[in-house]
Every structure is written in C-alpha cells, then in structure tokens.
Structure 1
Amino acid sequence: MQAAPFHAAMARGPEGGRAVWLRTEDGVRIRLGLWPGPAAAQGTVFLLPGRTEYVEKYGPAAADLAARGYAMLAVDWRGQGLADRPLDDPLKGHVAHFPDFQRDLAAVIATATEIDLPRPWFVLGHSMGGAIGLRALMGVHPFAAAAFSAPMWGIGLPPLIHPFGPQISRLFDASALAERYAPGTGPGTYVLSAPFLDNKLTTDPGMWAFMVGHLGEAPELALGGPTLHWVTQGILECEALAALASPDLPCLTAIGGAERIIDIPAAKARMARWPKGRLEVFEGAQHELMMEGATTRARFFDAVAETFARA
C-alpha cells in the first residue's frame, strides 16, 4: 500500500489516522482512510460515505466511534474525493455503472483483510453509501451488523413522473445528454453555494462551518452536481434493490425528522420488511445525522454502538 495525502488536522479524528491508495480490479485508484480504535477494539466500522463526500469529513465520526470502542475506515469512492474522476470536467459527479462501486468496496475489504483490522466488522452507510452497503449485504459479505443514516434506497422524483422514473432513466442513458449535469445542478458544490439558513444537511452551525472550511482548505475535494447518467444509474440501482429481500442480519436505520433529500417512503418500506431491523427517526434533524449537533450525534452513535454490540 502506498501512502496517500491525508489532512489529519482538518479531519479532527483520533490520533494515528492515515490514508492509503488502493487500486480496484478495473484499475481505478481510490483512497482509503484508516483510524485506529482503542487498544482492545471491539471491531471495525466500514463507513461508506455519500455522494460528494471524502475521507476527512468523517474524522469526527471516527472519534465518536473510537470513544465507543471501534476502529473505523472510510473511502473516497471513484469519481469523488481524491479518487480517480472519469470525466474531463472533474466537478461532475459521474459513474459508469452503479455496481462499479462494489469494485471499490471489494478493494477496501481485501485491504482490511490483508492488514487484519479488528473484527468483527460492521457497515455504516450514509446516503449513497447506504445503497452501496445494501447491495454488498445482498451477497456474500464479512459484516456482522449494519447501520444506515438517511440511506439512498430511492431517488426522489416529482410525483407525476415517479412511476416512470426507470423508463425515463433508460431513455436518458441512451442519449447524448447522459454526461450533462442533472437539471437544477451545476459545477457549484452545495456547501459553498447554499446559505446555512434553510440548508438541507444540518441544523448545526459548527458542523456546517466544519464542512465549508474543508473545501476552502482543500478545494480539490469539492464535487458539483451529478450527471444525468449518474442519476439514471442511481434510479436503476434503487429499483433493483427494492425487488430483493432484506438481508438476514441486525440493522439500524436512522432518518432525520426534517429530511428533505432521500426518498423517505422507500427507506420506511425497506425497514418494514427487515425482520432484524429497526427504524429510528430523529425529530428536528436533517439529512446528515453525523453532522448534526452534539446531542443528536451522541444519540445516533449510541444507537449504532448498541446495534453492533448486540451482534
């Protein structure tokens, strides 16, 4: 493994954090961030970030998990963070095929095995990482339990066209528009273009400033809106996942009561048919529970740790 750039001070994670480069089976370079837990760690949490996110953003989460006995890793998925970006315009959020993210996760699991990270292993997926994590759990996997924060198990569309989303997505994928920004988006990064008041991510001004500060200090981490192709691939992946039975392992899914980004009915429908799962709603919180105020974060990580400990 080759050492990769890592903004330790900016991340505010536990001491000993580092990053390494990984190469996936199809030749894409991705970045893996690693934070050690306590000396006698109770396991390792594989934190799977959402779209636009990057390793350093989850330094505080690593600290919260370390305080509860866990080591943690996070990944820059292909197309974001410092991982390889596929298009000439690096600000476009793009992936050739949504299942390609499984190649990234396979490289992470192989490295975790090679360096013998503390077991048992657990998966914690946020937003897009929730879709990637759920797909992994549908096959052979090394995880003892799962937790999800605002998982992307459906992509919100206007009510009148929602039933036709998969058909529309296939039409876009076959057109010359596929690599254009999705309507209403562009090269601007949300946390740099949206005001704190009425933002859709967090109610906590300190965590908002934390995210804004990252992109001021390390602008190479920024990502703009998704391409039409990314959106269509996401719709098709959510459609495929919805047709599958829930995995047979303990699961916690948490959603903010003020959530305005994910498809809430899709998350509720999944948890209603997850025998070993439970859904917890955090009233007043928005999309990023791990970037909310201290009280919400503590409640969230306590619930995650409880789920993992029971497993």
Structure 2
Amino acid sequence: MFYSTESDLLARQPEISQFFAQQVNKALLTTTNGDLYYGYAIPEQPKAAIVISSGRIEGLDKYQELIWELFKNNYAVFIVDHQGQGRSYRALANPHKGFVNKFTDYADDLAQFDSQIVNTLYQGKKVMLGHSMGGAIAVDFLTRFKHNYSGVFLSAPMFDIYTKGTPKPLAKLAARTACLLGFNQCYALGQTDYLAYDFLNNDLTSSEVRYQLFRQTYQSDSILQLGGVTYGWLNAAFGFMSTLEQQQLTLPVFIASAENDTVVDNQAQIALVHRQNNAVLQTFAGAKHELLFEQDTIRQAVLSRFYQFCDSLN
C-alpha cells in the first residue's frame, strides 16, 4: 500500500493539485433545497468504491491528500460537500453560521447523491468512510435507506458532543430553550465566524504540516470557510444523537476512536459498539480528533486498519 507522508507532502503538492484539477471530476447535484458540490475519481480497475461522508467544516477541497492516496491505491472515490459545508449551498444569510433545519436532512441528501451519482457511475463493492459529523450522517443514511454498501468505517464519529466544562444536560437545555424562543439561527454561546486557530491551540491534529495545509486551503478561498454552530444546529444534532440508541446497523462497522478527542464524546462510540452485533472499535493512542489528518504514525495505523477492513468485506 502507498501511504502519503508528512516529509513528502509539501514536495508532492504540485502532483496532488494536478491530480485534483485533472482527474477529480466535479459537479453540482441539485436538491430541493439547493445545490450540493461533489467530486469523484475512478481508476481503470478499482478494487472498490470509497464514499466519503466528511465532518463539519470539511469538504472535497480539504480531502485532496486522502482522495489522491486512495486513488493511487486503486480505489474509486466519491465525496459530496454536505449542505452548509464547503462549496455546497448555505441556508442562512451569514454563510459562516453552522445551521441545519433537521439533522436528517444531511442523510436525505446523501441518499440522493448515492442513488443519482454513485450508483450511476459505479457498480461494485462500496464502502462508506465517515468522519465525525459525517459518521453520524452515515449511520443515519445506512439505517434509514435501502443501500448496497458492504461496510462502514467511522473515524471519530460524532455520536455525542464533548461539551468540555458545560454539563451535557445544561447544554441540551440551553439549545432547546434558545430554539423555542426563536434564536435557532443565532450562534450558540461562544461561537463566532470562521477563526483560524494557530497550530499550538488546535484540537484537531498533531500534524503541523497537514494542519497548515488545511488552513492555507481555507485562507486561499474564503467560500470554504465556516464558523461555529447555531442553536438550531446544536439542537438538531442533540435531538438526532438521542435516537442513536434505537439504531441497529445490519452491515460490518469499524470505529476508529481518537484517544485524546476533545470534539466528540468517545463514550457514545463505546456504547454504540456494545449495542451492535457486527461492530469493532479500536482506540488510537495519542490521537486527536482528525485521525485522517494526523501525524504519520497514527494516520498510517488508521489507514492500515481501513484497508484491512475493506479487504475483509464481500
């Protein structure tokens, strides 16, 4: 297997940029609410198709290194920017505000993308790769819609939010009350427009080169920038996550959990695995939230398990 490395990443940027420009097909998918931006790359004889459901503030542009790497390893790759993220439509006048009407809207969009784009262009083994919020969306899609996926690999999935110093019942009550009072489109307490935190203060990754590339990408094109969450998004997310206890996935599941995660609550991942018949969880030591953008030792361990998981599926 080929693994992209931090030491070569900057030197490889021209190659990755050329691949992204010339071999990743990009287009818009029209939905009832607005247009979703998506991309795909299909090698001549792919082993399988990887459909990426990315996390909050993420999208196609951020995943260039991984898409290039998967393609070099002979996987077809499909990815759609979720509504309110990346280059897809944003519902509010201030595009920085993280907002969704209903959390299930995300999976409704993913289902349309899967049926109209992925299944039209590719027939063969398909694996879902979901990160963070995208992991929650993947589970919602896989439990509510008829599909033909062989398995799902979840990187630090958002099955509950790490609320730091605020007791979780209080955070849920605040979000619910704010929405009842008509503040659903207002930023939640402490949330602001897009901020580029310096590397030393970031909660996402311990790979400085990958973190700086992510920030440079968003600095060079402000349309990608997304700020904090609104009370509406928070209330919708808490509401959806409370339903996960009733969900049963009928396909193989692998959960990669980040030991030092301060974005999502790892206890909810452990609880979900205990309720499933065919789920495996592995905790990656020393890892921050973004396992797919971590330093090489962690990232390669995660991707090695991912490739093993893909090979194990029919």
TM-score, with structure 1 as normaliser: 0.89
The equivalent of 1:178 in structure 2 is 184
Which region of structure 1 is more displaced relative to structure 2, 205-214 or 299-308?
299-308
The Cα of 1:119 is off from its aligned counterpart by 1.6
Sort the Cα spacing of 1:305 and 1:11 in 2 relative to 1 into closer, same or farther, 3 A. farther
The Cα of 1:156 is off from its aligned counterpart by 2.6
The Cα of 1:63 is off from its aligned counterpart by 2.4
Partner of residue 163 from structure 2, selected from 157, 167, 175:
157
Q: Distance in 2 between matches of 1:212 and 1:300?
A: 23
The aligned runs of 1:185-196 (5 Å cut-off) are 185-189=191-195, 192=196, 194-196=197-199
Q: Structure 1, residues 88-114: CA drift from partner, whole Å, max 9, x if none?
A: 111101111111112210221123355
The equivalent of 1:19 in structure 2 is 26
CA contact (8 A) 1:14 1:36 kept: no
Q: Distance in 1 between matches of 2:297 and 2:192?
A: 34
The equivalent of 2:133 in structure 1 is 128
The aligned runs of 1:1-311 (5 Å cut-off) are 10=17, 13=20, 16-24=23-31, 26-37=32-43, 39-113=44-118, 115-139=120-144, 140-157=146-163, 161-163=167-169, 166-189=172-195, 192=196, 194-244=197-247, 246-311=248-313
Q: Structure 1, residues 200-256: CA drift from partner, whole Å, max 9, x if none?
A: 101011101110110121111100001110001000000012232x31211111112
Sort the Cα spacing of 1:113 and 1:53 in 2 relative to 1 into closer, same or farther, 3 A. closer
The one-letter amino acid paired with 1:186 is T
The equivalent of 1:4 in structure 2 is none
TM-score, with structure 2 as normaliser: 0.88
Name the SS of the counterpart of 1:182 in structure 2: coil
Sort the Cα spacing of 1:88 and 1:19 in 2 relative to 1 into closer, same or farther, 3 A. same
Q: Distance in 2 between matches of 1:41 and 1:181?
A: 43
Name the SS of the counterpart of 2:242 in structure 1: helix
The one-letter amino acid paired with 1:18 is N
Which region of structure 1 is more displaced relative to structure 2, 67-76 or 285-294?
67-76
Name the SS of the counterpart of 1:285 in structure 2: coil
Q: Distance in 2 between matches of 1:113 and 1:9?
A: 23
Q: Distance in 1 between matches of 2:18 and 2:181?
A: 40
CA contact (8 A) 1:155 1:238 kept: no
The one-letter amino acid paired with 2:268 is A
Name the SS of the counterpart of 1:143 in structure 2: coil
Gaps of 5+ in 2: 1-13
CA contact (8 A) 1:46 1:72 kept: yes
How many corresponding residue pairs? Answer: 299
The one-letter amino acid paired with 1:283 is A
Which region of structure 1 is more displaced relative to structure 2, 281-290 or 113-122?
113-122
Sort the Cα spacing of 1:285 and 1:79 in 2 relative to 1 into closer, same or farther, 3 A. same
CA contact (8 A) 1:43 1:119 kept: yes
Which region of structure 1 is more displaced relative to structure 2, 102-111 or 221-230?
102-111
Name the SS of the counterpart of 2:162 in structure 1: coil
Identity of aligned residues (%): 26
The equivalent of 1:3 in structure 2 is none
CA contact (8 A) 1:23 1:107 kept: no
The Cα of 1:260 is off from its aligned counterpart by 0.9
Sort the Cα spacing of 1:13 and 1:138 in 2 relative to 1 into closer, same or farther, 3 A. same
RMSD value over aligned CA atoms?
A: 2.2
- Structure (1 or 2) with the greater helix fraction: 2
The one-letter amino acid paired with 2:255 is T
Q: Distance in 1 between matches of 2:33 and 2:160?
A: 29
Q: Distance in 1 between matches of 2:58 and 2:188?
A: 18
Sort the Cα spacing of 1:109 and 1:8 in 2 relative to 1 into closer, same or farther, 3 A. farther
The Cα of 1:280 is off from its aligned counterpart by 1.0
The one-letter amino acid paired with 1:149 is S
The Cα of 1:10 is off from its aligned counterpart by 4.8
The Cα of 1:158 is off from its aligned counterpart by 5.7
